[in-house]
Amino acid sequence: MTTRKAVKKAASFATIPTGTAVTWHYRSAIGHGTVAGVHKHGTSADNTMYSIKQHDHHPGEPAVVHHSGKALTRA
């Protein structure tokens, strides 16, 4: 009997690099920020969740938000 070992594959796609300036639509406005890193890996760059440092957050809003790659546009 042979046993199978779980092999973790390296991501076959490039994520948005840390430090990349991005924008995203939020309600009727556009948010601006910089990619701080990957929050949660997905199966593609579009469904990977990124941590974004907001440049223009308002009081009561978090300084770091999480968005999928699909929601982000490189600025």
Answer whether residue 7 shows pLDDT above 90: no
In-domain check, residue 12: no
Residue pLDDT, tens place only, 10-65: 568 999 999 999 999 988 889 999 999 999 999 999 999 999 999 987 888 899 99
> Is position 62 within any domain?
yes
pLDDT of residue 6: 54
Rounded Cα distance, 18 and 34, in Å: 8
Higher pLDDT, 49 or 7: 49
Q: Is residue 7 part of a domain?
A: no
Does a structural domain hold residue 36?
yes
User: What's the confidence (pLDDT) of residue 28?
Assistant: 85
pLDDT of amino acid 9: 55
1 domain residue, yes or no: no
By residue range, what is the domain housing residue 60? Answer: 21-74
Number of domains in the chain: 1
DSSP secondary structure string, the chain? -------PPPPSSPPPPTT-EEEEEETTEEEEEEEEEEEE--SSTTT-EEEEEESSPPTTS-SEEEEEGGG-EE-
Residue 52 CA: distances (Å) to CA of 15, 36, 71, 75: 13, 5, 12, 13
* Residue-level pLDDT at 5: 57
Q: Is 66 within the bounds of a domain? A: yes
